Amino acid sequence: MRKQFGKIIAIFLICIMMVETVIASEDVSVHPSNGEKSIYTATGRDEELPDLLSQSAIVVDMSTGYTLVEKNIKDKLYPASITKIMTAILTLENAQMDDVVTFSYEAVFTVEAGSSAAYVDVDEQLTVEQCLYGLMLISGNDLANGLAEHVGGTMTNFANMMTDKAEEIGCLNTNFTNAHGLHDDNHYTTAYDMALIGKYAYDNCEAFKTFCSTGYYECQPTNKQPEIRYWRNNNRLINEYKEEYYEDCIGGKTGYTDKAGGTLVTYANINGRTLMCVVMKSANSLSAYADTTNLYDYVKEYVGQEVYDKFDEEYAKLSQSGEKETISSGNVSGTVDKVVLENDKDKDNANDGMWIGWKILILVVTVFIIYYVYVQYMRYQRRKRRRLMRMQRRREMEMQNRR
């Protein structure tokens, strides 16, 4: 019986591990589009939209926070290096430009091989300002590590600060595990949340505008590096020597990993308004640039002043009522849905609770079925052994009778 009980416990533990694996994979994995048409435009001209290679996209009017175009903006996706916008926010809010960052062994050598880096040395000292330029221009992952340790003490503490800040801003489906954006299954966000983060950085961190729009920077010699480092912005939309150069673009942050695909947050002056575009899960970096410029071109051609006038009117009303500012959908008719996405957070929490309940029920039923099958199997084995023992006795008796 002890052996049987041990087998039952082992089966039970295996079932728990299997269900926990399913739960973890569902909670943090990329949520793909459900295939339904989910594009919204302020003009209603869906048929004029370019074919987007990005799974998720949003274009926001920065003055009001209303969206001009949106596609699958609540899909959970991996952000890659646009993560560094949040890293810059926390650094600008918790450190001084002339603070000295001393790079630890972990900050230098925990960077994934082949990923973007400034190639700092252990115990090298850079100012926060130098680090932020390298963070935004060349997307230095070692610089992100150093800033995280400088501000948060450890990467874990800093990542928790990032997630808390995202929630404070109003993000609904964001979790950060690092300051650089290299892949982690539990490091995810949405285009909607990145729009909130990008808008917060642009509106509340004046220096951020400088860092994200600078095309070229010279990092002066340090205690470990006697030569000047020359850093050119990775964002091709603001580099006039690149084919992807877009004259209206005034800054942004690039990102790419194999699992995240191309990600891009940019700002542009279009028809007298400052706009922000977020694209995520594009085929690659080049397609992220193409989708961004196509979206800006669409807005430039089809969104007229009457749309912005309606946005301004609705925004003024909501501001007077004291309603919380957030990224919102709006259209020409003035129908503004400012609470749907926030209410969705409560719905998501409720749905998560329901799913956990169902998973527990499935686990209990699965264990019961396995236990039932096991008990029936053991009964069958006992009956089989008894039959064999009876047959053996008959043979022995027959042999004795013959003798």
Rg of the chain over all Cα atoms, to the nearest angstrom = 29
Catalytic status, residue 84: yes
Angle (CA) 329 333 334, round 5° = 55
Asked if 262 contacts 79 with a C-beta cutoff of 8 angstroms, the reply is no
Catalytic residue among 71, 74, 76, 84: 84
Indicate the SS3 state at residue 170.
coil
Q: Which of 82, 69, 342, 55 is nearest to 198 (CA)?
A: 82
Q: Say which of 56, 139, 282, 285 is annotated catalytic.
A: 139
206 to 199, 229, 251, 272: CA distances (angstroms): 12, 25, 13, 20
Q: Are 134 and 231 contacting, i.e. CB atoms less than 8 angstroms apart? A: yes
Indicate if 33 belongs to the active site: no
How many C-beta atoms surround the C-beta of residue 281 within 10 A? Answer: 25
Please check whether residue 265 is in contact with residue 278, taking contact to mean a CB–CB distance below 8 angstroms. Answer: yes
- For residue 333, indicate whether it is catalytic: no
Count of CB atoms situated within 10 Å of the CB of 2? 6
- Cα torsion angle, 307, 311, 314, 316, sign: negative
Catalytic residue, candidates 56, 81, 116, 329: 81
Query: Which run of H or E residues covers position 212?
Result: helix 206-213
Residues present in the chain in total: 403
- Residues designated as active site: 81, 84, 139
